[in-house]
Amino acid sequence: MPNVLLASPSAFLRIGLMQQLRRRERRFAFVETSTTGQTARLLLDNAIDLAIVDDTLLADADGEHLRDVLLRHARKALLIAMGDPGQSEPAAGTLPVIAGRTDGVLDMGGIARALDHALDTPAVPRLLQRSAAVPPSSATCRREPARPAEIILVAASTGGPGALAALLGKLGPPSVPVVVAQHMPADQTEAFSRHLAVETGLSVSECVSGRLPGAQITVLHGGSDYRIRRTTGAGFWLSTVTVEGNAFHPCADMLFTSAAEAGIRAAAVVLSGMGEDGARGATMIAARGGGVLVQNFDSCVVPGMPSATRAACPSAIVASLPVIAERLARWTAPSYRPATAMAEES
């Protein structure tokens, strides 16, 4: 799967670029950054097939370093001219430039047309050129989990805090552990846990690592990534890990993937958020007999994570927050038995 880096201080531009690339009927692994330094670090630490960079990042103090890194480390790099007229050409050097503004106004239509042309040229690596999409196999994936889920894993990013409060309030006291990977800085998750407890009236705590509490809601400490495994006897254990090149923490893909690898019967939920975190891990959970639920796109502040998960895992059920809560309550009941056919609800 090609790695695509989208670098701009503008979240609107990054979302627009991501949507345009998705229309090419190709699956991409997106990484988003908003600063010059972070963009350079990701390029140095990862194999980036295509880097699309807002040229205003080159105007920063470290802009010359970023330009050199782009030339040396990205298989293909494009600049979006968002800065002052005349700034892009000298800053770009040998990097191709796409006009981002028309008469001073952001021109997403023009960007889309120029981007298609740039990516369809023979100079672009073959893996980035337009081709028939190969849908992921869902032969081993079920819409309903094979057995009762023993844990609920939730991924959320932009728009996630509000969705989480609504979902958990509908779910009520859980019968199994609920682990929340909300993209958030390290200094905010403790207060966020207290906020969720007040909003929902449920027991919510922050967890850094170690033994996972029983049937209650745990918010992973921000700024770090985690693996989960079984403990000897009953229960689960969280360990901190480093996910190379990961720009968002906690990494839901790592949490989901480690659960699947450990043979933990999980129900995965992907809520509102930018990017693709959770999509790969949710697919692994589904392939191991677990269930996957994603928030319906219209109710998301940013639908990137849910839509990416559904694209990667066609067996995922797209549903409203109340329906997700109902499914989770049923999937985690000791008496649960999978239905032979379930219609998608929204």
Q: How many helices (H) and strands (E) does the chain have?
A: 11, 17
Helices marked H in the chain: 11-22, 36-45, 63-73, 88-92, 108-119, 160-171, 189-200, 252-261, 279-287, 304-312, 321-331
Q: Is 175 known to be catalytic?
A: no
* Annotated active-site residue in 49, 277, 299, 307: 277
Strand order across the 3-7 sheet:
29-33, 3-7, 50-54, 77-81, 97-99
Q: How far is CA 123 from CA 11, 44, 119, 167, in A?
A: 28, 22, 8, 47
Contact 279, 305 (CB under 8 A): yes
Closest C-alpha to 3, from 47, 54, 66: 47
Q: Is 277 known to be catalytic?
A: yes
* Collapsed DSSP state (helix, strand, coil) of residue 98: strand
CB neighbour list of residue 53: distance below 8 Å, 6 or more residues apart:
5, 7, 8, 39, 66, 70, 77, 78, 79, 80
Q: Is 183 known to be catalytic?
A: yes
Q: Tell me the pairing of strands 210-211 and 217-220.
A: unpaired
User: Amino acid identity of 19?
Assistant: Q
Q: How many CB atoms lie within 10 A of CB 264?
A: 19
Contact 27, 279 (CB under 8 A): no
* Annotated active-site residue in 54, 183, 193, 221: 183
Q: How many CB atoms lie within 10 A of CB 100?
A: 24
* Annotated active-site residue in 8, 88, 157, 224: 157
Active site residues: 157, 183, 277
